[in-house]
Amino acid sequence: MKKGDKTKQLRVHRVAFNLNYDEYRTVERYLGKYKISNKSRWYRETILSHILKILEEDYPTLFKEYEMRR
pTM, two decimals, is: 0.70
How big is the chain, counted in residues?
A: 70
The CA distance from 50 to 62, in Å, is 25
Whether pLDDT at 5 is above 90 = no
- Per residue in 9-31, pLDDT (tens digit) is 899 999 999 999 999 999 999 99
Contact at 8 Å (CB) between 42 and 35?
A: no
- Closest by CA to 19, choosing from 49, 41, 43, is 43
Q: What does pLDDT average to over the chain? A: 89
Q: Where do the domains of the chain lie?
A: 21-68
Calpha distance 9→32 (Å, rounded) = 29
